[in-house]
């Protein structure tokens, strides 16, 4: 399909930069960018899972005081 399209200056600069990077023609660069944009966001990534480990603090720190924890970890001169 042939059409006339007015492209904003900032978008034209991005397209020109991508065209130089990829070595593709302007037409190919525009079509690739439009396809990527029209297909919507990328597929969701696999969910990241955090596996907790025992740090050994339960045996030495039995309060909710961050100040106390800092004193245990860094010594009484932590301030």
Contact 12, 29 (CB under 8 A): no
Select the more confidently predicted residue: 17 or 57: 17
Structure tokens at 69: 């924890």
The structural domain count of the chain equals 1
User: Domain containing 25: what range?
Assistant: 9-38
Name the band, by pLDDT with cuts 50, 70 and 90, for residue 34: very high
Q: Which 3 state secondary structure label does DSSP give 20? A: helix
Give CA angle at 53 (47, 56), nearest 5°. Answer: 160
pTM: predicted TM-score of the whole model, two decimal places: 0.49
Give a yes or no: residue 34 inside a domain. yes
The span from the CA of 35 to the CA of 28, in Å, is 10
Segment 46-71 shows an average pLDDT of 78
- pLDDT confidence of residue 8: 96
Q: Is residue 20 part of a domain?
A: yes
Give every CB contact of residue 69 below 8 A, 6+ residues apart in sequence: 57, 61
**Residues of the chain with pLDDT > 70: what percent?**
86
């Amino acid at each position: 399909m042939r059409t006339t399209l007015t492209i904003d200056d900032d978008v034209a600069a991005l397209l020109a930069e991508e065209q130089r990077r990829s070595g593709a023609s302007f037409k190919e660069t525009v079509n690739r960018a439009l396809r990527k944009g029209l297909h919507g966001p990328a597929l969701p990534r696999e969910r990241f899972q955090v596996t907790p480990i025992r740090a050994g603090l339960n045996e030495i720190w039995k309060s909710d005081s961050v100040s106390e924890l800092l004193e245990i970890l860094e010594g009484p001169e932590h301030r």
